[in-house]
Amino acid sequence: MRKIISFLLITSLTSLLMGFGNSSIELSSKQRIQGKELPEIVKVRTEPYQVIGNWITLPKGPGKLKIDVVAKNTTKVQFWLVPTGTATWKYRKLIGEDTDGSDGWSMEWRYGSELILNHITIIAMNPKGTSGHYTLNVITETEKQN
């Protein structure tokens, strides 16, 4: 539990110190099953909006968000928009997929003017069907946040 709290605190402080424009999160959760390494998301970078405390605040109106991922042991990365709440995975929407990691794993999400309060779940997969994942929280800027 202390490691998780330390990780969240360090991630939040790092995000605050990184400034505006873009941000990246370094992750380390190497996992193995029967001696084989699973897909692993090592780093997530967003632009032009930064991640603060695992949240991305988007300005009102239409726009775009680019997400770059560094992943190991991976052949495909999917990006899912998932509503907040309980048991909402069945309502997810695929917003991006990258099957060519030669130039890195990435996607550009073009969103509309609707209010957003969702998760973006990033799933790194390999041909054997195993996967690693990471989730970001996304919200539209409100008047009180200004």
What confidence score (pLDDT) does residue 32 get? 53
Phi then psi dihedrals of residue 87, to 5 deg: 55, 45
Assess if residue 47 is contained within a domain: yes
What confidence score (pLDDT) does residue 109 get? 98
- Angle made by CA atoms 40, 12, 78, in degrees to the nearest 5: 30
Which of 10-24, 75-89, 103-117 is predicted least confidently?
10-24
Assess if residue 131 is contained within a domain: yes
CATH, residue 102 = 2.60.40.10
Residue 31's pLDDT band, with cuts at 50, 70 and 90, is: low
d(CA 122, CA 95): 10
What confidence score (pLDDT) does residue 129 get? 77
Assess if residue 113 is contained within a domain: yes
Assess if residue 112 is contained within a domain: yes
Structural domain tally of the chain?
1
d(CA 42, CA 27): 5
Task: Tell me the residue range of the domain where 71 lies.
Answer: 40-140
Assess if residue 12 is contained within a domain: no
Assess if residue 100 is contained within a domain: yes
State the average pLDDT for the chain.
82
Assess if residue 115 is contained within a domain: yes
pTM recorded for the entire structure? 0.76
Assess if residue 86 is contained within a domain: yes
Say if residue 36's pLDDT is above 80. Answer: no
Say if residue 3's pLDDT is above 60. Answer: no
- pLDDT tens, position by position, 39-97: 999 999 999 999 999 999 999 999 999 999 999 999 999 999 999 999 999 999 999 99
